[in-house]
Chain A
Amino acid sequence: MALINVAAREIHCKIVYYGPGMCGKTTNLQYIHSQVPKEIKGDLLSIATETERTLFFDFLPLDLGKVRGFQTRFHLYTVPGQVLYERTRVAVLNGADGVVFVADSHKKKMQENVNSLRELAQNVTRQNKKFSEFPIVVQYNKRDLPEDVLVSVQTMDHYLGVTRMNWPRIEAVATTGAGVFETLRAISRAVISKL
């Protein structure tokens, strides 16, 4: 839920990157952190295991400056993708205004993508929000995988129900930054449209 502080003239929005383990959620945030002007970004905070897997969340505050007199802040979070952290994902998702669902384009990851999206739907619904109306952008990450393991966009659309749900869908290679900002623009616009 976005917070609008009238006296301080501030608007805060929370965006969560969701998806199965190792799909590239943290990489998205790392790329954004490396590229945005320093005057708009805060420190990238990561609570990770010793092997650099996300344990709780990554957090990147972005301060967009004043828009029509309102200081506007976007807070980006990732969830831990591994199956055992389901409850932790619920905790991080709390109060989110929008979600980027990062799907892995590897053919061996399709079932994990589907399971993770299903879990997201459950968790959004449990927060008393209508999943069909909740701002979601889907990113197909790792589009640079070799062709023999890469799932086509049409197949992913079909399995994840992207066309049916009318979600914006963006192809990406988060390690090089391709599609990362397009994704961020799309979810930011979706969140703003619901303010």
Chain B
Amino acid sequence: MDPQLTSIIVPSEELVQIEECLGRLVEDTSSDYALLLDKSGQVISSKGDADRQDITALGALIAGVFASSREVAKLLRERDFRNTFQQGVRENIFIALIEEQWILCIIFNKGTHIGLVKVLTKKATDELATVLERVRQQHKARDEVLGSSFRTSMEDTIDLLFRD
């Protein structure tokens, strides 16, 4: 991938596949929630409890946890912690890395066995890795997506909203 690439574009077709994959994962594991994040903490897609209001903050914190664990791995001269597991009294969180770019997060309660989550998450990450590969190959289409007038409109919006 181009190291100077500044944007990653998720086309409609790939998003449908991502949503189907997350939906299956939630259903097959009886989890509460599945979340696909970019490593910068931005939410790409989510499935589960539709009433969740805190999803943006959740994304930022989970990506932070994962980025932090990656630095711990470096200090331990470990290549990477591909997965992390957080166990609570009611809720558990299992997080898996996809090709250094995306983070898959499953939130589940004590009714679901961690072993099942691990196995099905592995399957889902493999599937999502192929979607990611296709997304990466399509990045050149960004000018078609945004259009030439987008930046001008964006600058006007910035000036309007971020004024003293």
In the assembled complex, A149 has its CB within 8 A of some CB on chain B: no
Contact of A192 among B40, B74, B151, B162 (CB under 8 A): B151
In the assembled complex, B116 has its CB within 8 A of some CB on chain A: no
CB atoms of A1 and B8 under 8 A apart: yes
CB atoms of B68 and A88 under 8 A apart: yes
B49-82 at interface with A (beta carbon < 8 Å):
56-57, 60-61, 63-64, 67-68, 70-72, 74-75
CB atoms of B15 and A5 under 8 A apart: yes
CB atoms of B158 and A185 under 8 A apart: yes
In the assembled complex, B163 has its CB within 8 A of some CB on chain A: yes
Which one of B83-91, B119-127, B142-150 is at the interface? B142-150
CB atoms of A195 and B146 under 8 A apart: yes
A192 to B149, CA, bound (A): 12
Which one of A18-26, A68-76, A101-109, A158-166 is at the interface? A68-76
A185 to B160, CA, bound (A): 10
CB atoms of A43 and B57 under 8 A apart: yes
Which one of A90-98, A111-119, A140-148 is at the interface? A90-98
A12 to B43, CA, bound (A): 9
Q: If A42-B57, A75-B60 touch, does A94 touch B151 (CB 8 Å cutoff)?
A: no
**Shortest distance from the beta carbon of B6 to any chain A beta carbon, whole Å:** 5
CB atoms of A3 and B60 under 8 A apart: no
**Shortest distance from the beta carbon of A61 to any chain B beta carbon, whole Å:** 5
B interface footprint on A58-101 (CB within 8 Å = 1, 0 otherwise) = 01011011011010110101000000000110111011110000
A90 to B61, CA, bound (A): 15
A130 to B161, CA, bound (A): 30
Chain B contact residues, majority secondary structure: helix
* List of A residues within 8 angstroms of B16 by Cβ: 7
Residue of A nearest to B1 (CB): A128
A180 to B15, CA, bound (A): 37
CB atoms of B56 and A61 under 8 A apart: yes
A180 to B162, CA, bound (A): 9
CB atoms of A3 and B7 under 8 A apart: yes
Q: If A90-B71, A129-B4 touch, does A59 touch B60 (CB 8 Å cutoff)?
A: yes
Chain B residues within CB distance 8 Å of chain A:
3-12, 15-16, 38-42, 44, 56-57, 60-61, 63-64, 67-68, 70-72, 74-75, 142, 145-147, 149-151, 153-155, 157-159, 161-164
* Given pairs A185-B159, A192-B154, 12 additional interface contacts (CB within 8 A): A3-B44, A4-B146, A6-B15, A14-B42, A56-B68, A67-B153, A72-B154, A88-B68, A129-B4, A184-B162, A185-B158, A192-B151
A-B contact pairs, 14 of them (CB 8 A): A2-B6, A4-B8, A6-B12, A7-B15, A68-B153, A90-B71, A91-B68, A94-B67, A128-B3, A129-B4, A180-B164, A188-B162, A189-B155, A195-B6
Chain A residues within CB distance 8 Å of chain B:
1-8, 12, 14, 36-37, 40, 42-43, 45, 47, 56-57, 59, 61-62, 64-65, 67-68, 70, 72-73, 75, 77, 87-88, 90-92, 94-97, 128-130, 133, 177, 180-182, 184-185, 188-189, 192-195
